Chain A
Amino acid sequence: MHHTAILFLEVGAVLLGLGVLGALALRAGISPIPLYLIAGLAFGTGGVLPLATSEEFISVGAEMGVVLLLLTLGLEYNADELVTSLKSNARAGIVDLVANAAPGAICALLLGWGPVAAVAMAGVTYATSSGITAKVLSDLGWIGNRETPTVLSLLVFEDLTMAVYLPILTALLAGLSLVSGAVTVAIALGTVSVVLVVALRFGRFIEAFVSSPNNEVLLLKIVGLALLVAGIAQQLQVSAAVGAFLVGIALSGQLAHDAQALLSPLRDLFAAVFFVFFGLQTDPVKILPVAGLAALLALISMITKLMTGIYAARRAGIAKAGQARAGIALIPRGEFNIVIAGLAVAAGVHPDLGPLAAAYVLILAAFGPLAAKAVQPLIENIAKRA
C-alpha cells in the first residue's frame, strides 16, 4: 500500500477510536484521558495493534498538543488573577506544593531512581488536573459553592508554579552542569517575570497586534505566536510548554475569550493525540509490575490532596462539608502530570517512570471524578451533623 494511504488509515482509525472512547467516557461520567492513554497503550510497542507509519506524525501532533494545552490554560487566566492569587493564597499554595510533591519525590528516591527522577515524580504527583477539576465542579454544580474560589486559586497557584518548575525540570533533564542549569533557570524566571509585567502593563499592545475581526486571521496569529514563542523557549531550554503558557497569560479579556473558543477544537484534537502518544511510548507489559506501586502512590497522594483542600478551605473560613468538597475536587490528576512524565520519558530518566506515571494518572484521572460523585451523599451527612 502507498505510504500516504497507510498513514491516513492509521491516523483515521486512531482518531475514530478516540471518538468512540470519548463517547463511552461521557456516558460513564469520567474524564476521557484514561481511555486515551489505554488506547495509546494498545497501539504502541508491545500493544495489541502496533502502528506502522504514523508514529512520527503522532509524535509531532503530541508536541503541538502540549503547546495548545498550555496556551489555552494560559488564556483562562489573566495576569491580574495570577498576581492576586499569588498574594492571597501563597501559604495554602506552598502547603499544596510541599504535601503533594513529597509522595512522588520520596517514592522515586526510595526506588533509587536518583534526584532527577525524584524532581520529575514530584511534579507527577503534585499537579491537580485543572481541566478535570473544572469539569467536576461544573458537573456537580459546585461552581457557585463558597469553597470553590479556594479550589480555583490553588489551581492557579499550581499552574504558576509549573511556569517555574518546567524550566527547572527541563534543565535537569538536559543534564546541564550546575552553572549552565542555574543560568537556564534564571533565564526562565526572568522570562516569566518579564512576561507577567508586560502582560500587566502593556497587554493592550499585544492584543492590538493579535486581535482581528476575522476568526481565521486571529487563529493563525495566535497559534503562530504561541509556536514561535514555544520554539524560542525550547531553544533557551526553558521548555516549550512554558512559552505557550506565557503567551496565553499575556492575552486577556474579550480577545482571550474569543481565542479560547477558536482554539478549543484544535486543542481537543491535538491533546487527545498527545495522550495517545504517551501511551504509545509506554509498553503495556511494563505497567503490570508497577501497578501496585502506582495504586499505593495514588492512595497516598489522594490523602495529601484531600488534606491540602481541607487546610486551604479551613483557612478561608469554610465549614466541614465544604472543606471535604474542596479536598475531593483537587484529587484528579491528568494532563500536566503526563506532560511532566512525557518530558522525563523523552530524556530517558528511568525505564519504569513512564509506566508508573501512566498507571498513576490512569487511576486518579478515572477515580477522582467518580470519588467526587460517590462521596456527595456522605458530605451531606457531615453537613447535617455539624
Chain B
Amino acid sequence: MEVEQTALPGIGLRHDFTTQSGKRIGVVSHRTGRRDLVVYDREDPDRACEVVKLNDEEADALVELLGAPRIVQRLNQAHQEVEGLVSLQLPIPPTSPYVNRPMGDARVRTRTNASIVAIVRAGQVFASPGPDFMLASGDIVVVVGSADTTSDVAHILAEG
C-alpha cells in the first residue's frame, strides 16, 4: 500500500491512498490541528465527495477506534513470533488490591521479571505506562514475559 503525501502551502498536509476495494481516501491535516477525513468520488477522482471535519478530540477518538484493537493484535503477533515469549491480556478485577493504586506498587518487574507493555482502558491503549500510572478496575494489562512469569503477574494483579 502506498500513502501519498502532498504539501498544501498555507494549510498543511494531505495524505491519501487507494483501498483494496478501489476507494480513494485521505486525511487533510490543517496546521490549526483540524483534521479533515476525505473520501474521493469514483466518477471524478480529483473531487473529495465527502469531507468530515474533525477537531482534536474527534480525531483522537477515531484513531483509537481504528487503532486500539490493531495495536494489541500487532503486539500479540510480534510476541508470538518469538519463541518462549508470551503476551497476555490480564483484566484487573474489582477485587484486585491494586485498584486505584499506582502500577508501581505491584512491583511486577522486580518480582516476576515480566513487563507490562500497555494498558487498555475503555478501548484506549496506554503504551509503556510508567510506575505512577493509576490502575482501575476493568483495565486490561498487556504483559510480556515467559509462560511462568506472566502467570505470576496474573496472580499478583488478582490477589496481591
Contacts and interface: CB of A to CB of B under 8 A. Distances in A.
Contact of B7 (A76, A81, A321, A383): A81
B11 A321 contact: no
Contacts of A142: 47-48
A145 interface: yes
Determine the interface band of chain A, counting residues with CB < 8 A from chain B: 20 to 34
A147 interface: yes
Nearest to B24: A146
B111 to A, nearest CB: 44
A350 interface: no
A180 B52 CA distance: 55
A138 to B, nearest CB: 9
A134 B9 CA distance: 11
Contacts of A143: 8, 11, 28, 36, 48, 51
Nearest to B36: A144
Contacts of B103: none
**Which secondary structure dominates where chain A touches chain B?**
helix
Interface string B78-90: 0000000000000
B6 interface: yes
Given A149-B14, A153-B9, A257-B32, A141 B46 contact: no
A151 to B, nearest CB: 10
Given A257-B32, A319-B44, A383-B41, A144 B14 contact: yes
A321 B43 CA distance: 10
A125 interface: no
A193 to B, nearest CB: 20
A384 B44 CA distance: 7
Determine the interface band of chain B, counting residues with CB < 8 A from chain A: 20 to 34
Nearest to B27: A144
A321 B48 contact: no
B82 to A, nearest CB: 41
Interface string A306-326: 000000000000110110010
Contacts of A319: 44-46
Contacts of A322: 44, 46-47
Contacts of B91: none
A320 to B, nearest CB: 9
Contacts of B10: 76-77, 81, 130, 134, 152, 155-156
B38 interface: yes
Nearest to A157: B9
Interface string A156-188: 100000000000000000000000000000000
Contacts of A268: none
Contacts of B47: 142, 145-146, 321-322, 325, 383
Contact of A77 (B6, B9, B40): B9
A321 B45 CA distance: 9
Contacts of B44: 319, 321-322, 379-380, 383, 386
B31 A149 contact: no
Given A318-B46, A383-B44, A148 B9 contact: no
Contacts of A257: 31-32
Q: 8 tightest A-B contacts by CB?
A: A322-B46, A383-B44, A144-B38, A144-B48, A146-B46, A76-B10, A141-B51, A81-B9
Contact of A148 (B8, B43, B45): B8
